[in-house]
């Protein structure tokens, strides 16, 4: 779990995909809410209270009554759900195309999905047999993001259009992967600040598939709800550590270069897109919680209280890798997670982390099945995720307390323009 944090919510100058929200009123009807949503300003960023720079701290935590008003635009340069603030509830789902389904069926499916996503993200009912699960709720900062797996291209006869960046990830020593919960032809990421809104979107997306495919795997995640903390702050994971301090920020001059495929990149259909690495990382919490407070801090290399490096300062103070204590020992241990994952220790490799925590109950041994749905974004996984994970494989102190149980790599094309659907340049090009 590389030590990085998520981006700030978009400002009015940002690219399309930014959040729009209406002012909240007690008892406001859904129809009235939606009718006024576009005219009353921007409010995305409330997720910062939940995940800080693991989502995007806003200047002030939003009151809970405004949760439903946040709206993210579907059409834009990039797909939603990449640089938007993290939401309180998330669903990840992968599909395989049905036997005999090919390029034509895939194009029709992406057309349906894009129409459904556009409507739901605007707070409207789904276009086909809406279930009313989200009735009375606003858009709730819903985002729906679509990607293609390595196998999709053979299924659709588009092997020549498959990016080299989508080559399978190498094996890592910490992997104990369940193939049935890994990869897939198609991948969908759903996030919202309301659990019913997120579930409604999941059901609508699944129903849209019809006979064109079937679910390969599905996972559920969560983060803190906006307003749960007294001030915006970086997220805490299920180990209690502040997690996400060093994520690339949209304000950095090389942010787009690191995260998005350039407009003139290869292949052309991936212009303004990104690559998502998805890993289900189980945290061995019973073992972790046996460690002393100090031992936990030494494993991570940061103070548990405020996320500051053990070398001193605040959360954002640069880590002093050479500082020693009175006995001559490094203050930040040589195998500390935060030291190993620093971009300057990995040839500048960086990725944009946008995770969800998960808890899927207690297993037969009485152990919590809990951890992190790790999702990271980069222009090229061979220059982002892979070098960092290889470095972690060689001696990360955290590795004995986590287990990578599933994995996927997906090509996520750029956003759809008005009148287009996601992936149209690939499927009709």
Of 243, 256, 298, 396, catalytic: 243
Tokens describing residue 253: 């001059």
Q: Are 271 and 265 within 8 A, CB to CB?
A: yes
Is 243 known to be catalytic? yes
Across-strand partners of 335? none
Within 8 A by CB and 6+ apart from 361, the residues are 368, 369
110 vs 218: CA distance, rounded Å: 19
Burial of 294 (0-12, 13-18, 19+ CB in 10 A): exposed
Q: Is 272 left (phi over 0), alpha (psi -120 to 50) or beta?
A: left
376 vs 168: CA distance, rounded Å: 16
Q: Per residue in 298-316, is it b (16+ CB within 10 Å) or e — as a string?
A: bbbbbbbeebbbbbeeebe
Alpha helices in 70-209, H assignment, sequence order = 103-121, 150-155, 195-209
The conformation of residue 304, written as its DSSP 8-state character, comes to: T
> Among all residues, which ones are annotated catalytic?
243
């Amino acid at each position: 779990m590389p030590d990085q944090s998520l981006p700030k919510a978009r400002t009015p100058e940002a690219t399309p995909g930014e959040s729009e929200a209406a002012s909240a009123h007690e008892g406001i009807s859904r129809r009235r809410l939606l009718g006024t949503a576009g005219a009353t300003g921007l409010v995305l960023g409330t997720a910062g209270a939940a995940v800080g720079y693991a989502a995007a701290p806003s200047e002030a935590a939003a009151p809970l009554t405004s949760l439903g008003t946040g709206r993210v635009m579907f059409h834009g340069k990039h797909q939603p759900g990449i640089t938007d603030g993290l939401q309180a509830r998330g669903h990840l789902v992968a599909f395989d195309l049905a036997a005999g389904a090919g390029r034509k069926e895939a194009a029709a499916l992406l057309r349906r999905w894009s129409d459904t996503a556009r409507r739901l993200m605007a707070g409207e009912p789904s276009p086909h047999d809406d279930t009313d699960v989200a009735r009375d709720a606003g858009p709730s900062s819903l985002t729906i993001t679509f990607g293609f797996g390595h196998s999709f291209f053979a299924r659709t006869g588009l092997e020549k259009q498959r990016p080299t960046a989508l080559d399978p990830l190498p094996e890592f020593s910490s992997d104990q992967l369940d193939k049935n919960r890994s990869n897939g032809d198609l991948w969908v990421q759903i996030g919202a600040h309301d659990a019913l809104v997120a579930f409604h979107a999941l059901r609508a997306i699944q129903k849209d598939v019809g006979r064109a495919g079937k679910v390969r795997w599905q996972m559920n995640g969560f983060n803190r709800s906006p307003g749960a903390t007294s001030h915006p702050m970086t997220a805490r994971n299920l180990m209690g550590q502040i997690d996400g301090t060093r994520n690339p920020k949209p304000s950095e001059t090389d942010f787009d270069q690191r995260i998005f495929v350039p407009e003139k990149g290869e292949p052309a259909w991936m212009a303004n897109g990104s690559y998502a690495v998805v890993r289900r990382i189980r945290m061995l919490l019973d073992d972790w919680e046996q460690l002393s407070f100090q031992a936990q801090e030494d494993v991570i290399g940061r103070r548990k209280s405020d996320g500051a490096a053990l070398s001193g300062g605040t959360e954002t103070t640069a880590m002093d890798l050479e500082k020693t204590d009175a006995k001559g020992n490094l203050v930040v241990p040589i195998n500390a997670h935060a030291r190993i994952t620093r971009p300057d220790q990995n040839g500048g490799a960086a990725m944009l982390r946008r995770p969800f925590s998960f808890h899927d109950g207690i297993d037969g041994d009485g152990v919590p099945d809990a951890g992190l749905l790790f999702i990271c974004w980069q222009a090229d996984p061979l220059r982002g995720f892979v070098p960092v994970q290889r470095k972690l494989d060689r001696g990360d102190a955290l590795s004995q307390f986590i287990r990578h149980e599933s994995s996927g790599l997906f090509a996520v094309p750029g956003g759809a323009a008005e009148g287009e659907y996601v992936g149209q340049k690939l499927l009709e090009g």
